[in-house]
């Protein structure tokens, strides 16, 4: 491990991304190009795309994602509690409610269909990669400001939307007969793309008047770390780890 090589390279990438045009999201993504490639190319997503993911793996993913959604919702509630205007409060609360009434409820129904009781759902063991990701989000919220937190929260929404669009547009993706067709279509769907657009826009709003190169560098670190934790989540799901 050659530590000394790291800082200066990172620095050049960050400055270039900082000077690039576009939304904050696209500039953060530009600063983390290699991690982003790994994100798109992970095994879990590849096997979703061609429909070869074992059903036990998918079930493990849903179980962990159920727990993830709980804490993801808590993190949006934390964002609401850190808000200083009614608009900000409204925005974060709406997202929290959508996760709770949307994704969490959907997962819950699936788990119930698979035979899990309410108590068993509540007692699902949380994988280490899941703890790492969710508690990192909550800690960014506790230790940083609202912009730090929204950058960390954005990966899961916008990242999934970009994965969905990527899969739908990719020649190797199998749609017909793919047991995970609904998963691909859910995240590739125009509605989910619009949600991602609004999250990207909101990031620019929260960042307005706050960005300096120094702050951008901090946000890149948060973005990269979150991206890696998201890859870690998919790897954990793929390997059915607890």
In the complex, the residues that contact a copy of itself under the rule CB under 8 A are 3-4, 6-7, 70, 73-75, 77-78, 80-86, 89-90, 92-93, 96-97, 100, 104, 108, 116-117, 119-120, 122-124, 126, 128-129, 131-132, 135-136, 138-139, 142-145, 148, 208-215, 225, 228-229, 232
Q: Closest approach of Cβ 102 to a copy of itself, in Å?
A: 12
* Residue 212 CB, nearest approach to a copy of itself (Å): 6
Q: Measured from the CB atom, is 129 or 167 closer to a copy of itself?
A: 129
Query: Minimum distance between the CB of residue 190 and a copy of itself, rounded to whole angstroms?
Result: 26
50 vs 81 by CB, closer to a copy of itself: 81
Closer by beta carbon to a copy of itself, 34 or else 171: 34
Which residue's CB is nearer to a copy of itself, number 38 or number 170? 38
Instruction: Compute the least distance from the CB of residue 219 to a copy of itself, in Å.
Output: 12
Closest approach, Cβ 171 to a copy of itself, in A, equals 33
Q: How far is CA 130 from CA 33, 102, 158, 229, in A?
A: 24, 20, 19, 8
22: left (phi over 0), alpha (psi -120 to 50) or beta: left
> Helix or strand or coil: residue 242?
coil
Q: Are 72 and 226 in contact (CB under 8 A)?
A: no
On whether the CB atoms of residues 228 and 157 are closer than 8 A, the answer is no
Q: What is the dihedral of CA 171, 173, 175, 176, to 10 degrees?
A: 80
What does the DSSP 8-state code read for residue 125? P
What distance in Å separates the CA atoms of residue 99 and residue 106, rounded to the nearest whole number?
A: 10
Which CB atom, from 51 or from 144, has the smaller least distance to a copy of itself? 144
| Residue 109: partners with Cβ closer than 8 Å, 6 or more residues away | none
């Amino acid at each position: 491990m050659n530590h000394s090589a790291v800082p200066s390279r990172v620095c050049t990438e960050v400055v270039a991304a900082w000077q690039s045009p576009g939304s904050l999201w696209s500039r953060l993504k530009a600063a983390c190009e290699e991690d982003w490639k790994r994100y798109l190319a992970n095994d879990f997503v590849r096997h979703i795309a061609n429909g070869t993911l074992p059903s036990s793996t998918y079930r493990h993913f849903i179980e962990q994602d159920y727990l993830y959604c709980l804490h993801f919702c808590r993190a949006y509630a934390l964002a609401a509690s850190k808000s200083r205007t009614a608009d900000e409060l409204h925005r974060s609360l709406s997202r929290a409610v959508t996760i709770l009434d949307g994704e969490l409820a959907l997962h819950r129904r699936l788990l119930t269909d698979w035979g899990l009781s309410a108590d068993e759902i509540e007692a699902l063991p949380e994988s280490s990669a899941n703890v790492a990701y969710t508690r990192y989000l909550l800690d960014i919220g506790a230790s940083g400001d609202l912009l730090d937190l929204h950058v960390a929260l954005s990966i899961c929404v916008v990242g999934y939307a970009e994965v969905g669009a990527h899969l739908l547009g990719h020649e190797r993706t199998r749609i017909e007969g793919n047991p995970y067709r609904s998963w691909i279509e859910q995240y590739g769907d125009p509605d989910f793309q619009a949600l991602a657009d609004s999250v990207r826009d909101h990031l620019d709003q929260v960042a307005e008047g706050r960005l300096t190169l120094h702050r951008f560098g901090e946000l890149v670190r948060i973005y990269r770390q979150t991206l890696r934790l998201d890859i870690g989540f998919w790897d954990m799901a793929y390997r059915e780890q607890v």
